[in-house]
A = this chain, B = another copy of it.
Amino acid sequence: MKKDLSTEEKIKAAAKEVFISKGFSGCSTREIAKASGMNVALVNYYFRSKSELFKLVFHGAMEDFVNSMVNVFSSDAPLEQKIRLVIEAEYDFLSTHPELPAFIVNEMSREEGCQIDTTFFDKILSTGIFDECTKAFEEGRMRKIDMANLTLLIMSNCDFPFMSKNLMKAVHKISDEELNERLIAHKEIVIEMLITYLFPQKTNK
């Protein structure tokens, strides 16, 4: 039968959960220790310091975050389909990891924060998706748009809905369940809106 998680793994798992939901400065080493069932000394025994442990967690979070996109972009689907699929993939992924975008965006803005490992973004680049877009609008198959703006369009409409869950619940005075239904519907809205905007040559419905 499978062995239990090692102490090191238990701590890292607990750290991931705590860091992602409370942020680096929103939690203490002792809180992570307690959440993992261990004690403070063990945390530093295995990971040297709170910051080192955080770097590991952040790195992992980034990896998860980027991979869900890379998988889609690496496929051999036609461009329009890739855009559809990446939105679907993001919504699916974020349904199980709703706290990730806020975590990443926030921690990237911390002063002492993450001088980030840009390998992640090179991974996106190396899928050739940007070149594919450039070619597509040179051939008139897609609306011309700067890659930064395209990235913003996709991420805004995928990530923000999950980042703003608590705000939305307050604004519209709705429950978690109701909000989740809205999010499911929102995926389709975003897909249609973005596809229509980016590929306007479609002559009609």
Nearest 10 pairs between A and B by C-beta? A156-B160, A160-B160, A193-B197, A108-B166, A25-B26, A148-B182, A121-B171, A156-B156, A109-B166, A148-B172
| Residue A155, interface by CB 8 Å | yes
Q: Check A147–B164 contact: CB distance below 8 A.
A: no
Minimum CB–CB distance for A195 against chain B, Å: 10
Minimum CB–CB distance for A156 against chain B, Å: 4
Q: Check A147–B167 contact: CB distance below 8 A.
A: no
* Residue of B with least CB distance to A193: B197
| Chain A interface bracket (under 10, 10 to 19, 20 to 34, 35 or more) | 35 or more
Note all chain B residues with C-beta closer than 8 A to A38: none
Q: Check B102–A106 contact: CB distance below 8 A.
A: yes
Indicate which residue in B146, B149, B159, B189 contacts A160 across the interface (CB closer than 8 Å).
B159
Contact A118-B173, Cβ < 8 Å, known A26-B25, A102-B109, A182-B146: yes
Complex Cα distance, B108 from A78, in Å, reads 40
Q: Check A160–B152 contact: CB distance below 8 A.
A: yes
* Contacts beyond the supplied A23-B25, A147-B172: 18 A-B pairs with Cβ under 8 Å: A23-B26, A105-B163, A105-B166, A105-B167, A108-B167, A116-B170, A121-B170, A124-B171, A148-B172, A148-B174, A148-B182, A149-B185, A151-B168, A151-B172, A155-B160, A155-B164, A193-B193, A196-B196
